[in-house]
Structure 1
Amino acid sequence: MNDASVTPSGQPDALATIQRQIQWNRLIAVVEEQAQTMIRTAFSTTVREAGDLSAGIFDLQGRMLAQAVTGTPGHVNSMMESVGHFMRKFPVESMQPGDHYITNDPWLGTGHLHDLTVVTPAFRDGHIVGLFANTAHVIDVGGRGMGPDARSVYEEGLYIPIIKCFDRGVANETFFDILRMGTRTPAELEGDVYSLCACNDAGARRLVEMMDEFSMDSLDPLASFIFSSSLRATVAEIAKLPEGTFRATVRSDGYEAPVDLVAAMTIRPDAIEVDFAGTSGLSGRAINVPPAYCRAYACFGIKCVVAPEIPNNWASLQPFRMVIPEGCILNAPRPYPVAVRHIVGQLLPDLMMGCLHQAVPDRVTAEGSSALWNPPLRGGSEVSGQGATLPDFEVITFNSGGTGARPRLDGLDGTAFPSGVRTVPVEATENVAPVIFWRKELRPDSGGAGRTRGGMGQIMEIGAKGEAEFAVNAIFDRVDNAPRGRDGGQDGAPGWVGLDDGTVLRAKGYQTVPAGRHLLLKLPGGGGMGDPAERDPAALERDIADGLVSR
């Protein structure tokens, strides 16, 4: 195939443009197969059941060409930055077939130690042609576990620098020895590393097949087409917005004290800049956000409103620029604790929509539950000592409250936005840990009333087998500060954390559920949109009939 895509007159050749678009679509299919391979082979329920992962292909300059549809923006948009760090440690010229590189460095990866990022070179006819990268959230990396109580990142678990986990196809046994000894779940963690490497290999094989089919010697012409098309389309969408500076705030429950997220968004003809000046300072606990994770979710919140139809890649994100002041909670430096950075970071799309509501009010949602409610549960000797009646276990189950109401549609019930992960089925969790879910149902009256109402939260009641003692590492938000409605819509219901006898627990921190008691979680509902008096009476009657709203 001739790589030229312009005619002698300098105009784009229609056939070449069509062929480039086909190749682009094929590339997205390649990375989606990459992600699905990880889901099919992963050991951790966080990956195979919840889909808490990302996968993508990069050119030899470390720029993301395409991402899998499956995955979370917090992973994929911060992983986009991480590949450059890998290339600085291991230049492209030094890479060999069969090499796999790994890290969980929060400042070089995706924001906390529970995320493993693997980068793998792809070779065709002995020449490197691209890089595949993926990220997955694993169950346990030792330390205090997934929780907010640490005082520094060094308490949070096994810290892996950028190293080779496979060298020319041969496992780095020293690395795997350290890995197995540093976790409560050695089989799962080792299995997940093999899964991450296998999924990159699957992507590399499909890429070579594609390049052979189209007689492509390099990805550079396709990369140029993808980047120029994406940037041009994104700038065109920005140009449709009113220019100006728009401000908004969102309050998180925080840990020691509430956290205020503050943004000033300036819309220019060809770019959007967000300045987070005024945001609360760093926390002494693990709710701090590394800057890459801040950029990841802030960009996602803007993109959902401004350019949702444009594929996500290096170029389509370039017009979105962040100014994150040093010393604020969104710009945590080493060695601040960051284990549950999502509690604050996943509120950023709500903050971005608060700004954009002033510019394009008909294109944003009300605030939602936003931050995941994914209780890490632990039991056995580490909780109960020698008297433990349960085997040792560590498990995380992913769940969500309601999303904010949309301008013309209700919010979604029990749905993860902005993370996009799936709810882990109770059967999957009960299959791998000695716990029982006694209740899991929608929470009536939790969605904020409005012309369109907020999505419903959930009620969850969890106990241990034999009514034994167990522990929860609470990592919940929207308990003291409910999701807010917009344009006259009412706030969603705040969350609640406690025991089945009415005892109130802290929303954050390691706590024990006594023998004979159950953990009770009431997840927040989304805020409403518009005057509740304007709601369609038929829609209200449906909600009453379905038990979602009490009369």
Structure 2
Amino acid sequence: MTLNPVDQAVISQALLSAAREMGIKLYRSAYSPIVRDGKDASTGILDAEGNAVAQSDELIPMLVGSLSITFRSCAALYPVHTLKEGDFYICNHPYHGAHHLQDILIFVPIFHDGAIVGFSAAVAHHLDVGGGAPGLNSSATDFYQEGLVIPPSKYNLTTDWNDEGPLRRFIGANIRVPEQTLGDIDSQFAACAVGAARVTEMCDKYSASTVREAMAEMIAYTERRVRAAIAAIPDGTYTAEDAVDDDGLTDKPLPVRVTLTVKGDDLHVDFAGTAPQVKTHMNAPFASTVSAVLACVKAVLTGGDVPFNEGASRAVTISAPKGSLLNPNPPAPVRARMEASFRAYDVVLKALGQANPDHAVAPGYDCTTGFCLSHLKDGRYRVFIELRDGGYGASPRNDGCDAVAGPLSNCTNTPVEQIDADYDFFRIEAYALRPGSGGAGQHRGGLGSVRAYRILEEGVRLAIYADRFRIPAPGMAGGGPGAVGSCIIHRGNETIAVRSKDDVALRKGDLILLSSGGGGGYGDPALRDAADAARDRQLGLLAAD
């Protein structure tokens, strides 16, 4: 490296700060509650070749891990050297790097003195992108039924988007909530503009060549740190298994198996033995599998001082059988891909726990509960999507966190007050922790929570995808499993059990109780510290007698 260490430190932190500022701009200017409040989005800075350099660590790990994959699909069709000011790449195709159609990725080139020095990138989950049902089509048999497909493409902001340009009008004509979806895409462009401005300012101060060198060193630093952590693990082979509850059609579990091979400072992750792809939307495209693995490796083996960028992927190779749950063949539907992705995360977590017991963590509830309520009135759709929480797994040192988003999602709680302000066809009547839902152990698993939704209009539709309704988060080192989740509709004197993957027509007056599960406990429950147990009793965190 020819760049002096002080400049390297300043520029690298400035790039990370720019990525975080982009994220703040995105969710503070967003229109939909899932982005504005839930923060289901991510931002980042890429170098001129599309390698991820700096990514927002406050938003969604699952979304940032595949930025480079999607970028390369776009650049293969529209080479970087052909881009001009105002051009941008856009894609939501799940078999070209995007995770599912609801995640639209945008890449904006950053020019300095007429040359491209990098790209700013923003991805957001959109409330509705068309398809066979509002927000969530749980009956889709291929991904075409899940929404509007945007292949790897190049457009221009001035001619194709601004002032009701043709791309904007085309997307708006294919979705049910255009004011929110188009508004959120505008927020993505605003975030990318912030990233471009910050990188340009750095180039003005330090020169473009210096900034490019700093980008390359950031990637190299992450690779060195990840390789050093891998090298500290004893060489060998480590295996683990978990399962998705079912595919929504039968009760048959879908196994997810992994074999980790450590050799020196190289790590190979192989998902041979994982279930074949399924007919429903539980499949995870390979980009999602890559993101899940890298997020787990990064979290377990390094600290917060190591940026999540292209360097992590250079130390890890990942394979999954073609046609499997974690690498399906198109046109398999993939809307609910997070459940399989979380199981991929969990089995890698278990295997790394065998290889490095000091950093072992029990699996948590670790699933995305995609909960969608939609209503059509006076020719206008209203779509509400919420991603619910769950309990984290315990570790050798600490209890699991209570009622937080899973480690791949990192979404925040949507405030009840904001929901009341935005939606009038239902209301929240209860929201609380679930006592006793965390797995018992020397350190207990985190608790899940319960929310109650009262339906106030006729014609409301519930769509849900979730997991761990049947197979709980397992404990570790003698710890107990967490509680499973559930969804129940109270209709007068009738109680209706909703499956973890379901689609239900609701009636005015229905009360939905959606309960998330807890994380696995760690260690023998008999060894739990008496003071910790007393605090749990005092706070009402244990199951009632």
Whether TM exceeds 0.5 here: the answer is yes
Is this contact kept in 2: 1:54–1:71, CA < 8 A?
yes
TM-aligned CA deviation for residue 215 of structure 1: 3.2
- Judged with a 3 Å threshold, the aligned counterparts in structure 2 of structure 1 residues 432 and 166 are, in CA distance, closer, same or farther, namely farther
Match of 1:207 among 188, 196, 199: 199
Q: Which amino acid aligns with 1:409?
A: N
TM-aligned CA deviation for residue 201 of structure 1: 0.9
TM-aligned CA deviation for residue 268 of structure 1: 1.4
Match of 1:261 among 216, 241, 256: 256
- Judged with a 3 Å threshold, the aligned counterparts in structure 2 of structure 1 residues 4 and 319 are, in CA distance, closer, same or farther, namely closer
TM-aligned CA deviation for residue 469 of structure 1: 4.7
- Secondary structure at the aligned position of 2:240 is classed as strand
- Secondary structure at the aligned position of 1:317 is classed as helix
2:179 is equivalent to residue 187 of structure 1: yes
Is this contact kept in 2: 1:51–1:70, CA < 8 A?
no
TM-aligned CA deviation for residue 168 of structure 1: 4.8
Mapped partners of 1:227, 1:345: distance in 2: 25
Mapped partners of 2:155, 2:21: distance in 1: 22
Match of 2:224 among 232, 238, 244: 232
2:262 is equivalent to residue 274 of structure 1: no
Higher deviation after alignment, 499-508 or 196-205: 499-508
Q: Which amino acid aligns with 1:363?
A: H
TM-aligned CA deviation for residue 340 of structure 1: 1.0
Mapped partners of 1:445, 1:340: distance in 2: 28
What stretches of structure 1 of length at least 5 have no aligned partner? Answer: 6-15, 382-387
Mapped partners of 1:32, 1:231: distance in 2: 21
Q: Which amino acid aligns with 1:357?
A: G
Q: Which amino acid aligns with 2:241?
A: T
Partner of residue 221, structure 1: 213
2:538 is equivalent to residue 545 of structure 1: yes
2:286 is equivalent to residue 291 of structure 1: yes
TM-aligned CA deviation for residue 169 of structure 1: 6.3
Partner of residue 375, structure 1: 371
2:305 is equivalent to residue 316 of structure 1: no
Mapped partners of 1:158, 1:36: distance in 2: 27
Mapped partners of 2:45, 2:98: distance in 1: 16
Mapped partners of 1:452, 1:287: distance in 2: 32
Is this contact kept in 2: 1:469–1:516, CA < 8 A?
no
Match of 2:499 among 499, 506, 511: 506
Higher deviation after alignment, 308-317 or 294-303: 308-317
Higher deviation after alignment, 530-539 or 503-512: 503-512
Q: Deviations over 1:208-239 (max 9, x none)?
A: 11121223445331133222222222211111
Partner of residue 339, structure 2: 343
TM-aligned CA deviation for residue 170 of structure 1: 5.5
2:443 is equivalent to residue 452 of structure 1: yes
Q: Deviations over 1:266-301 (max 9, x none)?
A: 111111111111100011000101001001001211
Is this contact kept in 1: 2:177–2:381, CA < 8 A?
no
- Judged with a 3 Å threshold, the aligned counterparts in structure 2 of structure 1 residues 4 and 299 are, in CA distance, closer, same or farther, namely closer
TM-aligned CA deviation for residue 484 of structure 1: 0.5
Q: Which amino acid aligns with 1:92?
A: V
Is this contact kept in 2: 1:399–1:424, CA < 8 A?
no
- Secondary structure at the aligned position of 1:233 is classed as helix
Is this contact kept in 2: 1:54–1:136, CA < 8 A?
yes
Mapped partners of 1:311, 1:364: distance in 2: 21
Partner of residue 400, structure 2: 411
Is this contact kept in 2: 1:96–1:168, CA < 8 A?
no
2:24 is equivalent to residue 36 of structure 1: yes
Q: Which amino acid aligns with 1:415?
A: V
Alignment of 1:512-527 (within 5 A): 512-527=505-520
Match of 2:88 among 85, 92, 100: 100
Partner of residue 161, structure 2: 171
Mapped partners of 1:432, 1:71: distance in 2: 23
Is this contact kept in 1: 2:91–2:98, CA < 8 A?
no
Is this contact kept in 2: 1:397–1:429, CA < 8 A?
no
Pairwise CA RMSD of aligned residues? 1.7
Mapped partners of 2:74, 2:511: distance in 1: 45
2:350 is equivalent to residue 357 of structure 1: no
Match of 1:88 among 76, 92, 99: 76
Partner of residue 106, structure 2: 118
- Secondary structure at the aligned position of 1:316 is classed as helix
TM-aligned CA deviation for residue 127 of structure 1: 2.0
Is this contact kept in 1: 2:202–2:211, CA < 8 A?
no
Higher deviation after alignment, 221-230 or 22-31: 221-230
How much identity, in percent, do the aligned residues show? 31
- Secondary structure at the aligned position of 1:151 is classed as coil
Q: Deviations over 1:456-498 (max 9, x none)?
A: 00111112235x4522111110001011101111100011111
Partner of residue 525, structure 2: 532
- Judged with a 3 Å threshold, the aligned counterparts in structure 2 of structure 1 residues 196 and 483 are, in CA distance, closer, same or farther, namely same
- Secondary structure at the aligned position of 2:28 is classed as helix
- Secondary structure at the aligned position of 2:276 is classed as coil
Partner of residue 416, structure 2: 426
Is this contact kept in 2: 1:148–1:287, CA < 8 A?
no
Deviation >6 Å, runs of 4+: none
Partner of residue 434, structure 2: 443
Q: Which amino acid aligns with 1:396?
A: I
Partner of residue 10, structure 1: none
- Secondary structure at the aligned position of 1:357 is classed as helix
- Secondary structure at the aligned position of 1:118 is classed as strand
TM-aligned CA deviation for residue 337 of structure 1: 0.4
Q: Deviations over 1:421-470 (max 9, x none)?
A: 1121122222222220111100111011100001000111112235x452
Q: Deviations over 1:396-439 (max 9, x none)?
A: 02221111112111101111121211121122222222220111
Is this contact kept in 2: 1:490–1:529, CA < 8 A?
yes
Mapped partners of 1:4, 1:401: distance in 2: 47
Match of 1:401 among 390, 397, 411: 390
- Secondary structure at the aligned position of 2:535 is classed as helix
Partner of residue 11, structure 1: none
TM-aligned CA deviation for residue 370 of structure 1: 0.6
- What TM-score results when the alignment is normalised by the length of structure 2? 0.94
- Secondary structure at the aligned position of 1:380 is classed as strand
